[in-house]
Amino acid sequence: MAKQKFQVILDRLPELAVRAAGCVQALLSNLVLIGEIPAPTFGEDRRVRFIADRFAENGLVSGSVDEKGNAIAVMPGSKGDRNILLEAHADTGIPSSVDHTILVEPDRVMGPGVANNSLGVAVLAALPHFLEKMEIVLDSNIIFLASSRSLARGNLEGLRFFLENNNLPLCAGICVDGTQLGHLSIQSLAMMRGEITCTVPEEYDWTRFHATGAIRTINEVINQINAIPLPNKPRSNIAFGSIYGGSGFNKVARHAVLRFEIRSEDDAMVKKILRQIRDICEDVSSQKESRIDLDVFTERKAGGIPFAHPLSRRARKILETLQIPCRVSPSTSELFAFIDRGIPALSIGITSGEVLAYPDELVNVPPMTAGMTQLAALLLAIDGGYCDEHS
């Protein structure tokens, strides 16, 4: 019987898609209004306040901005006996100094941070309008959370604070990302992210034959890290995100910084690799007579819901019915905070996009209809109990 009832939701998808198509303009309006407010991590206050105001304008209740700068609101359900948390991070990796003008074309929207994650929070702001036009009334409460301090050194601080202090039991969570549509994340990878800083002392003797600056010293660190043997199982890797230092062509660099990230399917492997990197830093520092500091500021643990969990199964079936190719892969996103609290959750994308993590990001408009239809159907499935662990 449960399977037949879930089929009713699948049968509604064509109708929901037609109704969603008529609401995309409202989503784009929210995307421009939100996207043109700079929101670097720890500097997203103005954007968060704007989102909180949008929540209030859309008739959501209990709207507030909490101590960590999260915008929170609730859409009460007809019964209110269950709670679904809908979350998107409000901050971006784009500095406030960058021009945040958003360019809207018929088939795409371009601008800094539109994909990660201005579109995600625009979805939260526009969703009440979509649900009204789709004539969807849920039994469950939807808790809207535009979370602060998620990226880089923020380390999911806003979302973690909310989950630690929220008194309402949550039956499921959905993390909304701007991109990519069809990508489902149900597992979190183990991860550590940090910086390696090399500083050459002022009294360094530059007349020595083998004297080197901070950039070459960091390069030696990179070479030795690249020599660390990485296992195929558990799958593990080390990514170098950026390197910068120095001040000119003819000046030996006294300072250089390397940003890196360790990922693995296994928590112990991440810790093992970090120990090896720490040993390398100490060894190179002693050889080069330079100070090398290792600062780890972000950590995730591995975990998540099984592939066969009803929440995962229903989400995949919705995408299949919408004829959207599905790709299930782990992530290091906000999903970890839900996993850490034992809340079944997944991450979804709303549309396709390009040039991610750069000021000239873009998202495509036509797939947004399918992305919003996917979200509405997933909310219906969770609300109906079809995504519960023993459904």
pLDDT at residue 204 above 80? no
* CATH class of the domain defined by 2-188+302-383: alpha beta
Q: What are phi and psi of 179, to 5 degrees?
A: -135, 160
Residue 9 has pLDDT above 50, yes or no: yes
Dump pLDDT digits (tens) for 74-99.
999 999 999 999 999 999 999 999 99
Cβ atoms within 10 Å, residue 282? 12
The mean pLDDT of 333-344, rounded to a whole number, is 91
Cα dist from 70 to 50, 87, 89, 125, whole Å: 11, 10, 9, 14
Domain 190-300 = CATH 3.30.70.360 = yes
Q: What pLDDT is attached to residue 1? A: 39
Q: How many CB atoms sit inside 10 A of residue 67's CB? A: 8
Mean pLDDT taken over the chain:
93
Distance of CA 357 to the CA centre of its chain: 11
- Express each pLDDT in 24-40 by its tens digit: 999 999 999 999 999 99
Q: Which residues contact 300 (CB under 8 A, 6 or more apart)?
A: 188, 189, 190, 191, 192, 332, 336
Q: Are 175 and 333 in contact (CB under 8 A)?
A: yes
Instruction: State how far the Cα of 161 lies from the Cα of 72, in Å rounded to an integer.
Output: 12
The mean pLDDT of 340-349, rounded to a whole number, is: 95
Q: How far apart are CA 250 and CA 159, in angstroms?
A: 46
Given a cut of 70, whether residue 343 has pLDDT beyond it is yes
pLDDT at 287 (0 to 100): 85
Helix (H) or strand (E) holding 145: strand 141-147
Give the pLDDT confidence score for residue 211 in this predicted structure.
53
Please report, for the chain, the start and end positions of each structural domain, with discontinuous segments joined by +: 2-188+302-383, 190-300
In 22-94, alpha helices (H): 24-35, 45-57
Mean of the pLDDT values across residues 161-175? 95
* 142, 84 contact by CB (below 8 A): yes
3 state DSSP class of 338: helix
